[in-house]
């Protein structure tokens, strides 16, 4: 394809994407091999133009394609306006341009001189043995491609609407669709028009079909209503047309046209570049909420209520979802799934604007999932074949909790005590449901006891004063839900071992510093041994009776230094894990020995220094004499 052809094609693509508008309906393959397909339309000097209202005498170049291999004899465009003819033999012939893959391309140019309608025609052999371009397009003038001349006349312009209130957006109007009187009156104004003009209002539940049909692409989702001249509203410069219809849907889009084009943005006698589409809506929205309160568990059939405001009775609703493994693993284990909801109830309420809103509530159940899974979900809506996500725009997340309650029991496991009166305290964290029963087996031969106490969660039990091991077990039952008034119970169990020990540990002092005589240096030693037959030793202390307490647990020898005279009663105390204590006592008599300090005469040191000096001098003199 040459550069000009490529440029033309890119322009057409940009036009189509920028506003949803296009002046042709391309098809990948023709239904009939001789049927031509419009590939592009370019207005000279207006390559970036995005409308179909052109200045008078604009040069229009159209390009068609046909099957390359069937031997097409020729292509023409037939139509009316701009010197086109409805007869193929006398209409505008297109010239061969190029071929690419399976298609051959033909071009032709004409000057736009007025309202123009056209379509392609191709043939093999005799010109009468041909096929017209097949169009489902429709305007009020019929199935053709349309081109309008701006200076020739004025398209309709939106004038006013009754029984609908303008919003912050001047193109959007609000009215409840469920009122006793749902009559909407729409008016369009024709500058310089007459009462004999033909003005057509296009209505659709969606915006895109309106923009498509304004360019001749009719897909069947548009209703056309011929508007009436509004008698008594004629002025010297413009005339009013109106139409009335019942607003029964949640949304309606509309625009209008006449023989000079569609309602497009721009002033009188200006090139119009943007289609004006207006919307009337009824405040529709919908949302989903789970019926279960609190956390959802692996035993719950997850149920939703979908609440819709101002929906219609032709719509369908449901929940779409997917499931991932868990918080630490986002592997998808259930792909996108849709479950349709059923209508549960229908009622009306008065909104803050004083209008009556129709409320429809739908019910849907999607089953249960494993604990730890993450459910990603949203409500959906099917409206005349179109799919809509729940109002809000993002999927919601739900963590699936464990149905088994988490419980704690105190005293903790492997607790020793020498108190036969034991107080048990329990904690129960339930994801869902209500507490059904709390029972305890104290493992002392007595029956299992109901200990449920919602105020304190405590139970006091009196054990026999017999040393031994007791495996106390707590049984908890939770009522998750009810099916046919039969409780579905979830059980949890936890045990704690209690060691009751009423026997004291043993302690023996095997050796220590003699206390028969006074301890003169303050240093003492003590050796000891201890044991506990049942519970085991917890702590061993020595109270040295001078304010020092020494922890000697796991030791069997200790020493201490006293710094003052006195009689000291030393206590060695041992305690087992159950709290039983035993102690032994040692007496130390400390009499510290005092040393008498040695006194030096005041001049003794000086005398010694003087003697050393004298001796040194004498030795030095003798050495000198010997050298002589």
Of 183, 202, 203, 191, nearest to 159 by C-alpha is 191
Q: Which part of the chain is CATH 2.60.40.10?
A: 3-152, 285-401, 406-500, 506-590
pLDDT at residue 139 tops 70: no
Evaluate whether the domain defined by 285-401 bears CATH number 2.60.40.10: yes
* pLDDT per residue as tens digits for the range 331-356: 999 999 999 999 999 998 887 777 77
Residues 17 and 31 sit within 8 Å (Cβ to Cβ): no
Residue 82, pLDDT above cutoff 80: yes
From 257-261, 350-354, 499-503, 567-571, the region with the lowest mean pLDDT: 350-354
Report whether pLDDT(10) > 50.
no
Mean pLDDT of 304-325: 93
Segment 235-249 shows an average pLDDT of: 84
Tell whether domain 506-590 is in CATH 3.40.190.10.
no
Residue 293's pLDDT band (cuts 50, 70, 90): confident
| Assigned token pair, 366 | 């999607």
Per cent of the chain over pLDDT 90 is 53
Give the rounded percent of residues in the chain with a pLDDT score beyond 70.
83
Query: What CA–CA distance (Å, rounded) separates 158 from 46?
Result: 26
Please say if the pLDDT value at position 237 is more than 90: no
* Matching CATH number, 3-152, of 2.60.40.10, 2.40.30.10, 1.10.8.60, 3.10.20.30: 2.60.40.10
Query: What six digits make up the tokens of 200?
Result: 């057509």
pLDDT band at 180 (very low <50, low <70, confident <90, very high): low
What number does CATH give the domain 406-500? 2.60.40.10
The pLDDT of residue 356 is 79
Look at residue 120 and tell me whether its pLDDT is greater than 90: yes
Q: Which residue has the higher pLDDT, 384 or 491?
A: 491
Predicted pLDDT of residue 419: 93
Tell me how far apart the alpha carbons of residues 355 and 384 are, in angstroms, rounded to a whole number.
Answer: 26
Higher-confidence residue of 443 and 282: namely 443
Torsion of CA 231, 235, 241, 242, to 10 degrees: -70
Rounded-to-integer distance, Cα 439 and Cα 451, Å: 5
Q: What average pLDDT does this structure show over 378-392? A: 87
- E strand intervals along 68-142: 74-80, 92-93, 95-100, 103-111, 116-123, 130-132
Evaluate if residue 3 carries a pLDDT over 80: no
- Name the DSSP letter for residue 325: E
Average pLDDT over residues 483-488: 69
* Residue 21 pLDDT: 32
> Dmax over Cα atoms in the chain, in whole Å?
162
pLDDT over threshold 50, residue 369: yes
* Residue of 609 and 333 predicted with greater confidence: 333
The whole-number pLDDT of residue 289 equals 93
pLDDT for residue 11 = 36
Mean pLDDT of 180-195: 84
Measured CA distances, 77 to 21, 86, 106, 118 (Å): 22, 9, 11, 6
**Among 156-160, 313-317, 366-370, 388-392, whose mean pLDDT is lowest?**
388-392
Mind listing the pLDDT tens digit for each residue in 386-437?
A: 888 888 778 999 999 999 999 999 999 999 999 999 999 999 998 888 899 9
Q: Express each pLDDT in 143-153 by its tens digit.
A: 778 787 766 67
Chain-centroid distance of CA 542 in Å reads: 64
Which of 234 and 577 is assigned the larger pLDDT?
577
Q: Name the token pair of 54.
A: 């052109």
With 0-12 / 13-18 / 19 or more C-beta atoms within 10 angstroms meaning exposed / middle / buried, residue 372 is middle
What is the fold, at CATH topology level, of the domain defined by 157-281? Immunoglobulin-like (2.60.40)
Q: What is the pLDDT of residues 525-568, one digit of tens each?
A: 999 999 998 889 999 999 999 999 999 999 999 999 999 999 99
Q: Say if residue 43's pLDDT is above 80.
A: yes
Q: Which residue in the block uniquely carries the two structure tokens 């908890």?
A: 476
Task: Count other Cβ atoms within 10 Å, centred on residue 468.
Answer: 14
Contact 24, 40 (CB under 8 A): yes
Is the peptide bond preceding residue 411 cis, with omega within 30 degrees of 0?
yes
Poorest-pLDDT segment among 251-265, 540-554, 567-581: 251-265
User: pLDDT for 440-479, tens place per residue?
Assistant: 999 999 999 999 998 899 999 999 999 999 999 999 999 8
> Mean pLDDT for the chain?
84
Enumerate residues 6+ apart whose C-beta is below 8 A from 88: 76, 78, 121, 123, 127, 128, 130
Residue 167 confidence (pLDDT): 85
How many CA atoms within 13 Å lie on the side-chain side of 205? 14
Residue predicted with more confidence, 21 or 116:
116
């Amino acid at each position: 394809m040459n550069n000009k052809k490529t440029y033309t094609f890119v322009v057409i693509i940009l036009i189509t994407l920028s506003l949803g508008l296009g002046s042709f309906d391309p098809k990948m393959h023709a239904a009939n091999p001789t049927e031509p397909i419009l590939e592009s339309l370019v207005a000279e000097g207006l390559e970036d133009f995005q409308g179909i209202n052109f200045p008078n005498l604009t040069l229009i170049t159209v390009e068609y394609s046909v099957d390359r291999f069937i031997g097409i004899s020729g292509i023409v465009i037939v139509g009316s306006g701009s010197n086109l003819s409805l007869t193929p033999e006398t209409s505008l012939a297109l010239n061969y341009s190029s071929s690419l893959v399976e298609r051959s391309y033909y071009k032709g140019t004409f000057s736009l001189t007025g309202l123009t309608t056209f379509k392609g025609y191709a043939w093999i052999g005799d010109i009468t043995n041909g096929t017209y371009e097949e169009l489902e397009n429709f305007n009020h003038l019929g199935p053709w491609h349309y081109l309008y001349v701006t200076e020739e006349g004025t398209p309709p312009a939106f004038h006013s609407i009754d029984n609908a209130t303008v919003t912050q957006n001047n193109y959007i109007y609000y009215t409840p669709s469920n009122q006793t009187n749902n009559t909407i009156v729409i008016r369009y104004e024709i500058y310089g028009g007459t009462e004999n003009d033909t003005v057509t209002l296009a209505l659709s539940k969606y915006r895109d079909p309106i923009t498509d049909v304004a360019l001749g692409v009719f897909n069947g989702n548009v209703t056309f209503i011929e508007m009436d001249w509004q008698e008594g509203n004629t002025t010297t410069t413009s005339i009013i047309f109106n139409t009335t219809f019942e607003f029964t849907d949640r949304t309606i889009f509309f625009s209008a046209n006449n023989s000079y084009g569609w309602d497009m943005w721009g002033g009188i006698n200006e090139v119009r570049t943007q289609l004006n589409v207006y919307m009337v809506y009824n405040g529709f929205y919908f949302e989903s909420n789970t019926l279960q309160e609190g956390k959802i568990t692996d035993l719950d059939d997850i149920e939703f209520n979908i609440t819709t405001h101002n929906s219609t009775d032709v719509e369908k609703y449901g929940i779409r979802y997917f499931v991932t493994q868990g918080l630490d693993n986002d592997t998808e284990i259930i792909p996108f799934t849709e479950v349709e909801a059923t209508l549960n109830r229908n009622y009306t309420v008065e909104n803050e604007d004083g209008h009556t809103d129709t409320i429809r509530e739908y019910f849907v159940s999607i089953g249960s999932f494993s604990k730890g899974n993450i459910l990603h979900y949203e409500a959906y809506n099917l409206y005349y074949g179109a799919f809509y996500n729940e109002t809000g725009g993002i999927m919601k997340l739900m963590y699936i909790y464990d149905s088994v309650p988490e419980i704690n029991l105190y005293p903790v496991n492997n607790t020793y005590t020498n108190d036969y009166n034991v107080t048990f305290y329990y904690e129960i964290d339930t994801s869902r449901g209500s507490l059904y029963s709390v029972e305890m087996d104290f493992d002392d031969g007595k029956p299992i006891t109901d200990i449920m106490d919602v105020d304190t969660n405590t139970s006091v039990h009196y054990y026999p004063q017999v040393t031994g091991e007791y495996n106390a077990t707590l049984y908890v039952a939770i009522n998750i839900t009810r099916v046919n008034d039969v409780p579905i119970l979830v059980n949890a169990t936890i045990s704690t071992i209690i060691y009751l020990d009423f026997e004291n540990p043993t302690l023996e002092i095997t050796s220590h510093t003699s206390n028969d005589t006074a301890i003169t240096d303050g240093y003492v030693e003590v050796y000891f041994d201890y044991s506990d037959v049942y519970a085991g030793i917890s702590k061993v202390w020595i109270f040295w009776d001078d304010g020092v307490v020494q922890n000697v647990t796991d030791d069997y020898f200790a020493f201490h230094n006293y710094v003052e005279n006195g009689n000291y009663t030393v206590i060695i105390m041992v305690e087992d894990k159950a709290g039983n204590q035993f102690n032994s006592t040692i007496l130390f008599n400390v009499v510290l020995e005092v040393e008498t300090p040695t006194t030096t005469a005041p001049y003794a040191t000086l005398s010694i220094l003087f003697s050393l000096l004298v001796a040194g001098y004498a030795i030095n003199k003798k050495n000198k004499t010997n050298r002589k």
